[in-house]
Copies of this chain bind each other. A is one copy, B any other.
Amino acid sequence: MAYRRTERVLQHLAARHDAIIAAAQDIAAAEGLAAVQIVPVAERAGIAAGTVYRYFPAKTDLVGALIAAVSAREIATFRKAADAAPGPLSALAAGLIAFAAHALRQRGLTWAVSGEPVDGAVERLRLAARKALAAEIEARIRAAISGGHLPEQDAAAAAAALVGLMLEGLIGPLAPPAAGAAARANVQTVTLLALRALGVVDARARGVVVQSIVPVEDAA
**Which residues of A are in contact with B by a Cβ distance under 8 Å?**
34, 115-117, 120, 127, 130-131, 134, 153-154, 156-169, 172-176, 186, 189-190, 193-194, 196-199, 201
B189 A169 Cβ-Cβ under 8 A: no
Contacts of A120 in B (CB 8 A): 34
A194 to B120, CA, bound (A): 30
Contacts of A199 in B (CB 8 A): 196
Contacts of A168 in B (CB 8 A): 160-161, 163-165, 167-168
Contacts of A201 in B (CB 8 A): 201
B157 A161 Cβ-Cβ under 8 A: no
B130 A157 Cβ-Cβ under 8 A: no
Contact of A174 among B131, B166, B189, B197 (CB under 8 A): B131
Contacts of A167 in B (CB 8 A): 164, 168
Interface of A is mostly: helix
A131 to B175, CA, bound (A): 10
Closest-by-CB residue of B relative to A127 is B173
Contacts of A193 in B (CB 8 A): 157-158, 161, 197-198
A190 to B165, CA, bound (A): 11
A164 B157 Cβ-Cβ under 8 A: no
Contact of A161 among B154, B156, B159, B169 (CB under 8 A): B169
B130 A174 Cβ-Cβ under 8 A: yes
A130 B173 Cβ-Cβ under 8 A: yes
B196 A169 Cβ-Cβ under 8 A: no
Contact of A134 among B165, B174, B186 (CB under 8 A): B174
CB distance from A85 to the nearest CB of B (A): 21
Closest 8 CB pairs of A and B: A164-B168, A116-B116, A161-B169, A197-B197, A160-B174, A165-B165, A164-B164, A193-B197
Most buried by B among A116, A127, A174, A190: A174
Contact of A116 among B117, B196, B197 (CB under 8 A): B117
A172 to B131, CA, bound (A): 11
CB distance from A142 to the nearest CB of B (A): 15
Closest-by-CB residue of B relative to A133 is B174
A49 to B156, CA, bound (A): 45
